[in-house]
Amino acid sequence: MKIKRLFLLFLAASLLSGCVFSISPAPTSPARATNTPLLLPSDTPSPLPDTATPTLTPSLTPTGTPVYYKVDEDDDMFGVSIRYGISLEALMTANPTVIPYAMGVGTVLLIPITQTPPPPTSTPSAGGQLTQPAESVLQTDCYRDSAGGVLCFALAVNDIEKDMENVSAKVTLTGEGSDYVRSQTAVLPLNLLKAGQSLPLITYFQPPTPERFSARAEIDFSLPVPENDARYLPAEPAELDISCSKNRLSCAVSGQVIFPAGSPQAASVWVLGVAYASDGSVAGIRRWDAQPPISGNGPLDFSFLVYSAGPAIERVEVFSEARPAQ
């Protein structure tokens, strides 16, 4: 489970000194129109239908009125959290009686957000978080769906020798020829961004959005994983088999998660597939969650489909993350 930011900022201040998170500059992305299914990570193989839009009851207001979302056929809790720019943990905490991997159609989720604008971003104190030079932005790939929303991937690159966690980015969507400007938080589909890894952060701008826009993303929060941390298990994807459809808009991914001999029992296992287009842009992602109980600590089989939000898929990279039972 992700750790709450404010608590971690207090605990980890002494660990952050001297850390540099290197991100290669990238141009802002142009609008990309697509009629493919809206891509959201899920532990089921079905993409969301083109017509899937959030059902808000009541509408967002600045008075702090509760916001609700009615679960559709292909929804999962992780995808809903991305739609609203909140963490999965915050959504689960707000809905303690809902089983994340067994939500039924029509389940009503309480969304822990308000319409109150966030306060202006202040300059963090030294050691408070990793920051970027003003001219350094993340590679940002955005796709407009048929419902009028925009899904954005911001590619974070960890060029330091420390594993990082709770990485997030600020993504700003600006309409071309209009006064539309929106900023949202993009989050990782995994808790960890390991040393040397590149993973996309994700956010979804709800409709209506402008047909033509540019997008810019910058890292705004991250924490180093403490030395000898026992919250994560060493787990690697292996025996991978990846086959794509003829039009290369979807790929089937299967394999095993391998644990070292003598590893503790796993309480949770995630496998992430990241699809890339031939030009290096992020085309889509899919996260597979092992449903508990997880038996033993031997090889764990997985299979899922990853769908493109627009361009043809050139390759798929696979990552895994596991946490031990308490």
> Can you spell out the DSSP letters for 5-65?
HHHHHHHHGGG-TT--------PPBPP-B--SPPP---SSSPPPPTT----BSS---TT--
Determine the pLDDT at residue 162.
92
At 56-114, the pLDDT tens digits run 333 333 344 678 888 887 677 887 887 776 777 788 888 887 877 678 888 889 888 75
CATH number of 21-34+125-224: 2.60.40.10
β-strands 250-258, 300-307 pairing: antiparallel
Mean pLDDT in residue range 228-237: 92
Of 63-77, 144-158, 253-267, 301-315, which range is least confident? 63-77
Q: In percent, how much of the chain has pLDDT > 70? A: 72
Q: In percent, how much of the chain has pLDDT > 90? A: 48
CATH classification of 236-324 is 2.60.40.10, yes or no? yes
Mean pLDDT in residue range 121-144: 58
The ranges assigned to domains in the chain are: 21-34+125-224, 236-324
Please indicate whether the domains covering 21-34+125-224 and 236-324 agree at the CATH topology level. yes
Mean pLDDT in residue range 137-162: 93
